[in-house]
Amino acid sequence: MTTAENLDQPQIAITLPDGNVRTYAAGVTGLEVAQSISKSLAKAALAVTVDGEERDLSRPIEQDAKLAILTRDAPYALELIRHDCAHILAEAVQQLYPGTQVTIGPAISTGFYYDFARDEPFTPDDLVKIEKRMHEIVDADSPFTREVWDRDEAIAHFKSIGEHYKAEIIGDIPAGEKITIYRQGGWYDLCRGPHLPSTSKIGHAFKLMKVAGAYWRGDSRNPMLQRIYGTAWRTEKELAEHLHQIEEAEKRDHRKLGREMDLFHLQEEAAGSVFWHPKGWTLWQALERYIRAKLKEAGYLEVRTPQLYDSSLFKASGHWDMYGDNMFKIRESVDDQGREKFLGVKPMNCPAHVQIFRQGLKSYRDLPMRLAEFGACHRNEPSGALHGILRVRAFTQDDAHIFCTEDQVPSEAADYFKLQLGVYKDLGFDKIAVKLALRPDVRAGSDEVWDKAEQGLRDALTANGLEFEELPGEGAFYGPKVEFHLTDAIGRTWQCGTLQLDFVLPERLDASYIGADGARHRPVMLHRAILGSFERFIGMMIEHYAGKFPLWLSPVQATVCTITSEADAYAEEVAKIMGKAGLRVDVDTRNEKINLKVREHSLAKVPVLVVVGGREAENRTVALRRLGGKDQELLSLDEAVAALKLEARAPVPSEGVTEAAF
C-alpha cells in the first residue's frame, strides 16, 4: 500500500505490528505515519518504536523498518511520562532558584528524581512551590524538540553558563560522538531521549515526595547534592491509588508494628540480625511448626548442618569464586609459606546437603531423596541495603534439596508446585506470578547443560498448567530457577519461593548413585524454598495482614480482660482453661477502665478480647470482642473455649503433630 504523496522521493517500507506494510517517502516521521492511519491515533500517539528502538514522534525514519506507535496505554509510555517529569522538575527548579546546577534526572520504578547542586537546602515549602510551577509548565504545552550538538562545543557551552556538572557528564562521552539536547520552551538539557511530543502530554498525575542527599556519582568523596523525588502516573486515579498504597504501607510498616506488637527489635551492635522477643518467637514457632508438618506430609527428611566450613568446600562448589563477595570469611591460620587458610560462614545450605547425600553408597532405589533444613545462613549484605527484617545478614531458610533422576524431575516439580501453592493459599496469598530466571552471564556449567536445565523447568511449568514470564540473566550461577512472586493486600509484589534445576553442583561436588545398570550416575539436584527466609516472610506477613494475623498464627490469640476487680479470680481461671485447650492467652487484671484495655490490646493486634466482669463470673460466661469490631458475643465459657480452639487450629494439622503444637 502506497501512502506517500511524493513518489519521486526514495520510498521506504514501514511494517506495522499487524503485519500490514505501507510505503512512505524516506524521512517520514512517526507522527505522519500515525496521521496516515487515523486522526484519533495521531492524537493519542506519544512516541514510536523503530525496529525496537524508542524514538520521538517527530524524528525522521530514513529506511525500511518495523514500526509500532506508542499510546498512553503502552508499557513504555509510563517511563516516558516519568522521564519528562524529571525535565519539568529541573526547569521549574531553575526558574524558581536561579544559580542551581542540574546534574542527572532519570525515571525510576514509581516515578523520577533529579539531583541538584545548590547551597541552600530545599524545604517542604519549596517542594510545594516547585510542584505548582511544574503544573504551569505542563499547561504551557511547550513542544519537546531534539537537537544534535558537537561534543566539544556542548562542553564549552555548559561551562560558560555555569553548568559544570553537566559539562563533566558530556566530557565522559567519547570524543567525536554527537550530543543530543532536548528543548522545552526556553529551557534545555542534555538527554538521549526520546520524549513526549509536548509538555501537556505529561498530564497532571504527578507529585513531589521528598528531598534526600546524594553524593555526586554515588561517591562519598564527591560533593553532596540534593535529590528531589517525585512520583508520576498515567492518570489521576493511578496517582491516588499509589499515594493510598504509600499511606497504607506506612501504617503497615513491619518495623512500626514490630514495636507496637512487641515482636522483635534491631540494634546497631548486631546490624542485620534480629532480636526476637517472646511474642515474635511464638509467631516464628507457629509458622515453623506448620511448615514442618507440611514437609513431613510431603516426604521430606529434616537435617541440620554446620555453620562454618573450610574454604575448600566453597571453592569446590563454586561459591568462593562466584559468590565470595557476599560471604563472611574468617582467617583461621597462616602456614610456614605465608599462605592463609580461611573458613567460610555458609550463605546457603546446598553444599552441605550434598555432603549428607554423599555419605554412604546411594542406589537409584533411594531416590528421590528430599533433605530439608531450617538452616541458619549469613550473607555479607552492604549496610545501606539492610531494611528491617526484610533485608538482613543473618537469616533462616526453609531450604530443601531433592536428589533425583532426570526421569523423576517432572513428578518432583509437580509435587513441589502443589506444595508451594497450597502453603501460600493457607497463609493468605492467592495472587501469585510465576517467573523463570534464565542463565546469568557469570555461571558454572556448559551451555548444553544450561539448555537442558532451562528446558526442563519450562516443561515442568507447562505440564502443570502454570503461566510464566521468562527473566533472561536472572538465574543462579549453577542453574535456572522458577520464582514465585506474591502480591500482598495493598498490591505490592514479593519474590519468595524458588525451584532451581541443577546439573552442575552434583558434578562439582562428586555426588553419585548406583543406577539399575550397576554404573555410577549423577543425580539431578532440585533446590527449593517455600518461604525463602523466615525473617523476610514474617516481615512481609506483618505488612500483608497489618499485624492482624489469623488466629492460628497470632502470638497472643486472646487476652482475658476484667471489667472490675471482683472478676480477677475468674479471669485467671478462664485463662488457665483456655491455655489447657492449647490457646495462647494473656490476662489483664489491671485496675484500669475497660476502654483503655481495649485500645491498648487493639494496638497490639490481639485478635480476641475475652471480657469478664462480676456477672460473667457469676454465670460462668464470657464476652468475646474481635479485633476491629465493636460488638460483643456472649457465650458460656465452654462454648467460647470450643469455638476458639477450633478456629485456632492450623490449616492442616498432620498425623503425628499434636494439636497443642498449633
Pick out the residues of the known binding site: 350, 401, 527
Amino acid at 374: F
Tell me the C-alpha distance between 118 and 116, whole Å. 6
Tell me the C-alpha distance between 553 and 496, whole Å. 19
Asked if 401 is an active-site residue, the reply is yes
How many whole angstroms from its chain centre is CA 24? 46
Of the candidates 166, 207, 252, 401, the residue annotated as catalytic is 401
Of 499, 523, 535, 302, give the one whose Cα is nearest residue 419: 499
Of the candidates 201, 319, 379, 597, the residue annotated as catalytic is 379
Asked if 191 is an active-site residue, the reply is no
Of 397, 652, 371, 389, give the one whose Cα is nearest residue 526: 371
Residue for grid cell 492449647? 582
Of the candidates 399, 502, 586, 588, the residue annotated as catalytic is 399
Amino acid at 574: V
**Contact, 54 vs 93, CB < 8 A?**
no
DSSP for 124-169, please give it.
Answer: HHHHHHHHHHHHHHHHHTPBEEEEEE-HHHHHHHHHHTT-HHHHHH
Torsion-angle region of 536 (φ positive above 0: left; ψ -120 to 50: alpha; else: beta): alpha
**DSSP tag of 654:** P
Q: Which grid cell is 118?
A: 545548590
Of the candidates 319, 481, 544, 584, the residue annotated as catalytic is 481
Tell me the C-alpha distance between 636 and 352, whole Å. 54
Cα dist from 652 to 24, 204, 289, 427, 545, whole Å: 66, 50, 11, 11, 20
**Contact, 608 vs 627, CB < 8 A?**
yes
Cα dist from 320 to 304, 340, 352, 560, 628, whole Å: 22, 15, 14, 54, 51
Asked if 164 is an active-site residue, the reply is no
Of the candidates 22, 242, 527, 544, the residue annotated as catalytic is 527
Asked if 350 is an active-site residue, the reply is yes
Asked if 601 is an active-site residue, the reply is no
Tell me the C-alpha distance between 517 and 551, whole Å. 53
**Residue ranges for the binding site for Zn(2+)?**
350, 401, 527
Of the candidates 85, 191, 350, 561, the residue annotated as catalytic is 350
Tell me the C-alpha distance between 382 and 325, whole Å. 10
Q: Determine how many CB atoms are found less than 10 A away from the CB of residue 171.
A: 14
Of the candidates 101, 226, 397, 420, the residue annotated as catalytic is 397
Asked if 397 is an active-site residue, the reply is yes
Asked if 335 is an active-site residue, the reply is no
Instruction: For 294, list phi and psi in degrees, rounded to 5.
Output: -65, -40
Catalytic positions: 350, 379, 397, 399, 401, 481, 527
